[in-house]
Amino acid sequence: MATELRSIATSRGRKSSGVVSSPPRPNRIPLVLSHWDSFYKTCVIDGPVSVQESDVTMMNNASDRSAYRQASTTANHIGSSGESSAVSHSKVRDEAKHDNSPTHTTIEFQNATSKNDIDSRSKNLTIDQVKERVAFAVTELKNLEEYHHGDGMKYQKAIGDLYWDYTNERTEIGDYLADLGYAEITINMLKQMNSLGIFKNDDIWFPTYYTYNTCWNYSDASEKLAKCLAETGAVKLMTLNLGHKPYLENMHSKNVYYVLKASLSTLHNIARCTGVKHHFKEIKTTEVIMPLINSNDEFLKSIAMLTLAYIVEEEENAKLIDETNTIKNIVHWIHKALENKQKRRFRGFTPAELTQGLAKLAVNDSNKAKIVEEGALADFCQMLLHTDPKEQANSAECLWTLSFDKNVRQMINDFPELLAALDSLKDSENPVVQKNVRGAQWLLRGEHEASATSTRSPSAHSSKNHIFISYSWTEKELVKKLSASLTAEGYKLWVDWEQMGGASLQATAEAIENAAVVLICMSEKYKQCPNCRTEAEYTFHLRKDYIPLMVQPRYRPDGWLGAILGAKLFFDFSGKYPYEKPLQGLLKELRGRGKSAHPAGQNHSPVVDDIHAAHPAANNASVIGSSPSTPFSNGNNASAVVSMSNENVESWLVSKGLQRLTTAFSQIDGQLIWQLKRMREMAPEYFHNSLERQFGMTLIDILRFNAALDSLQ
């Protein structure tokens, strides 16, 4: 979400009556602020209202004075601890609420003396020239010791102007800002402004406003910059703004309200990125945002719900849905946006934007039926039949995600108009639309089940001659590195470098069927991607041997991906350890599977198959925190251990004096005993805690069980 605020120089010939301006000073350019109303396609006078001017009404009310004074000055102690209080603005929603004759404000600042002429605006620059201006402005900001004497605002505004002058290059400019370290500079600038008190006077408030505005816009255009903002403290800063009581009590002040909605919208932009959830969890953003859902302000309410859709953890889902009616509201907003034939928006959101948030909620299996029950299928049908490829792609992706639920799949199949709409787009010229439509159709037609039942027994390894790598596009560079390492070791790989997804699911299914082993690269993006889930669940249904790889720092799989991980140990390629360490462990675990030919005389131990869904991801938290997997050497009787039945395990326990544990181990077979043995060597602390908590073992039991495992060497 981006702001739609623009600045128009009166020197260009635009004249407005009622402009409140400071006495003219030499070498200064007066500016009238405005924003672009995307609904009415016109320019509306707006912008940062003078602190003195916006305070008049409030300060005439004696009961408001102390509270507003606190809101204006509390930033002093917040800024000193790195907890700031302002951000910028997103797409201005429902601008029809603005007065027809708003107050005009004139802003003035010194002319730039640089050869770059940073004050001048041109829409005819090459991208290299644009980047030159960006680099100059960022460098100048970095060199400033104080930001409230005009130059800070000037350079932030110059960067912001480029957002509007070069709309097609917004993402590239945002990424370049990230490379230049703009995020850190901006957060430092906001901290300094807070230490001074952002509402103290116009010299402080105006540069603060432009900093938030520029930051807000580019965090919408560039995921790279949004992540950098998260890493430099933006989540903490803006969460504190939203929970700051004096701000919440003074929302009737235009400037205070701006800080609140700017903070929330920027958090929403950051929340859409992958790998940032831990920032929200550390500062407990969910707890701060939840009260806003009950706000009388529709803008804050809607953005709060969409933000929570991205950051809520699986275990918090029930609370979000039950207490906030988030799914009901989002589906209703989609319907209202579709009813608005002229603007095709509701509260400023397009159906595509709303469906994107709904799709994130749909990843959680417990939400799938609720989305359909609220009537979303009819809206998706309308979106598929519309000409906007974003609407088509997002609605098809949501349908693909919903179709993993068997009951929902049947409800979709009972909607002939929706099936016809999907079929009409299966050969779309838009590759994303085509991929999502074909992916949904793959599940709806039950092709994944048909292929799974027709394949050979998983024990037949004669034709299993390659490794299949299942990954999210976000981890492409790491997968390339891993592929090069495995290829250098003589392994044959099957990797979809083009990420065609639904367009080539048949080829993907055959590649999984014929793989010796599947590497599943687990990350937040992997969990959210229906194409990745299709590959992972197909692997699981085939009882194909798979090896989990953790490729995102601080990520803990939950939901369907956590269930697939189960109690399996993984190799950590997230960067926590030197690359070679998990690579060597992986090579040992592969044991030559996937090579075109095995060295003569090499003894291959039996493959430990996957753990069934009856043993869900109860062990995830500690296993994920363990060291990279390094399989121990398999003994001569490994095959006998893995092939043990439940009854064999019971007899084995009795023979070791552990007959009292037979009930607790009633669902454990030889494969799981082998996994427990591996867990003991790779995560000993978690192993022993599990014996005590999960199996109810006493110290004597644990000692005897360890001795029993030792006998399996």
Query: What pLDDT digit, counting tens, does each position of 128-137 carry?
Result: 999 999 999 9
Average pLDDT over every residue of 257-279: 91
In a domain, 453, yes or no: no
Average pLDDT over every residue of 170-198: 94
In a domain, 164, yes or no: yes
Q: What is the DSSP letter of 346?
A: B
pLDDT-derived band at 318, boundaries 50, 70, 90: confident
508 and 645 co-located in one domain = no
In a domain, 26, yes or no: yes
Average pLDDT over every residue of 325-348: 90
Q: What is the pTM of this model?
A: 0.66
Q: What is the CATH number of the domain that holds 618?
A: 3.40.50.10140
Res 10: pLDDT:
32
Helices (H), 542-579: 559-565
480 and 355 co-located in one domain = no
The proportion of the chain whose per-residue pLDDT surpasses 90, expressed as a percent, equals 44
Calculate helix-pair angle for 431-444, 406-413, nearest 10 degrees: 110
Helices (H), 529-669: 530-541, 559-565, 580-590, 620-624, 638-642, 646-655
144 and 196 co-located in one domain = yes
Chain mean position to CA 638:
42
pLDDT at 433 over 60: yes
627 and 642 co-located in one domain = no
Q: Are 435 and 503 in contact (CB under 8 A)?
A: yes
Q: Look up residue 571 and give its two tokens.
A: 């190799």
42 and 87 co-located in one domain = yes
Q: Look up residue 300 and give its two tokens.
A: 């804050």
* 621-624 CB contacts, 8 Å cutoff, 24+ apart: 621/556, 622/683, 622/685, 622/686, 622/689, 622/690, 623/565, 623/567, 623/568, 623/569, 623/570, 623/679, 623/683, 623/686, 624/550, 624/555, 624/556, 624/557, 624/570
Average pLDDT over every residue of 157-185: 94
622 and 610 co-located in one domain = yes
Strands (E), 556-597: 571-572
Q: Which of 372, 356, 355 is nearest to 409 (CA)?
A: 372
Q: Look up residue 421 and give its two tokens.
A: 């709409």
More confident residue, 69 or 427: 427
Res 317: pLDDT:
74
pLDDT at 667 over 70: yes
pLDDT at 384 over 90: yes
pLDDT-derived band at 50, boundaries 50, 70, 90: low
Q: What is the DSSP letter of 253?
A: S
Please report where in the chains the tokens 């800063």 appear, as a residue.
237
Q: For residue 524, what are the domain limits?
A: 460-631
Q: How far apart, in whole angstroms, are the C-alpha atoms of residue 694 and residue 667?
A: 13
Helices (H), 250-364: 254-271, 277-283, 285-289, 298-311, 317-324, 326-339, 351-362
Q: Are 141 and 155 in contact (CB under 8 A)?
A: yes
Q: Look up residue 710 and give its two tokens.
A: 């030792």
| Rg, Å, the chain Cα set | 29
Q: What are 532-577's pLDDT values in tens digits?
A: 999 999 998 888 899 999 999 988 888 899 888 877 789 999 999 9
Measured from the Cβ of residue 557, the count of other Cβ atoms closer than 10 Å reads: 26
Q: Are 144 and 180 in contact (CB under 8 A)?
A: no
Reduced to 3 states, what is the DSSP secondary structure of residue 409?
Answer: helix
Q: What is the CATH number of the domain that holds 411?
A: 1.25.10.10
Q: Which of 202, 232, 262 is the last residue of a domain?
A: 232
In a domain, 302, yes or no: no
Res 126: pLDDT:
93
Beta bridge partners of 31: 9, 107
Q: How far apart, in whole angstroms, are the C-alpha atoms of residue 64 and residue 272?
A: 37
In a domain, 365, yes or no: yes
pLDDT at 606 over 50: no
Q: How far apart, in whole angstroms, are the C-alpha atoms of residue 350 and residue 545?
A: 43
627 and 704 co-located in one domain = no
Q: Write out the H or E segment, with its range, that includes residue 221.
A: helix 202-221
Q: Look up residue 133 and give its two tokens.
A: 């201006």
Could you give the C-alpha distances from 183 to 156, 310, 616, in angstroms and in order?
12, 22, 40
Q: How far apart, in whole angstroms, are the C-alpha atoms of residue 49 and residue 54?
A: 6
pLDDT at 20 over 60: no
Q: Look up residue 77 and give its two tokens.
A: 């102690």
441 and 483 co-located in one domain = no
618 and 645 co-located in one domain = no
Phi, psi of 36 (to 5 degrees): -90, 120
pLDDT-derived band at 644, boundaries 50, 70, 90: confident
Q: Which of 445, 475, 496 is the last residue of a domain?
A: 445
* 51-54 CB contacts, 8 Å cutoff, 24+ apart: 51/199, 51/200, 51/201, 51/202, 51/205, 51/255, 52/201, 52/202, 53/20, 53/103, 53/105, 54/253, 54/254, 54/255
Res 72: pLDDT:
46
- When divided into structural domains, the chain yields a total of 4
18 and 47 co-located in one domain = yes
Q: What is the DSSP letter of 516?
A: S
439 and 578 co-located in one domain = no
pLDDT-derived band at 451, boundaries 50, 70, 90: low
In a domain, 8, yes or no: yes
Reduced to 3 states, what is the DSSP secondary structure of residue 710?
Answer: helix
In a domain, 315, yes or no: no
Q: How far apart, in whole angstroms, are the C-alpha atoms of residue 408 and residue 375?
A: 12
Half-sphere exposure of 430 (CA within 13 A, CB side): 16
Q: How far apart, in whole angstroms, are the C-alpha atoms of residue 44 and residue 34?
A: 5
Burial of 331 (0-12, 13-18, 19+ CB in 10 A): buried
Helices (H), 404-499: 406-413, 416-423, 431-444, 447-454, 476-488
Q: Which of 678, 632, 670 is nearest to 653 (CA)?
A: 670
Beta bridge partners of 36: 43
Burial of 675 (0-12, 13-18, 19+ CB in 10 A): buried
Q: Are 402 and 433 in contact (CB under 8 A)?
A: no
Measured from the Cβ of residue 533, the count of other Cβ atoms closer than 10 Å reads: 23
Residue type, 21: S
Q: How far apart, in whole angstroms, are the C-alpha atoms of residue 652 and residue 386?
A: 64
In a domain, 284, yes or no: no
Q: Which of 7, 54, 28, 32 is nearest to 205 (CA)?
A: 54
- Which span out of 47-51, 186-190, 660-664 was modeled with the highest average pLDDT? 186-190
408 and 480 co-located in one domain = no
pLDDT-derived band at 316, boundaries 50, 70, 90: confident
Q: Which of 176, 210, 232 is the last residue of a domain?
A: 232
Q: Look up residue 148 and give its two tokens.
A: 């409230």
Q: How far apart, in whole angstroms, are the C-alpha atoms of residue 332 and residue 355?
A: 11
Reduced to 3 states, what is the DSSP secondary structure of residue 325?
Answer: coil
Q: Which of 705, 542, 711 is nearest to 640 (CA)?
A: 711
CA geometry: angle 410, 415, 416, nearest 5 deg: 120
Phi, psi of 250 (to 5 degrees): -125, 35
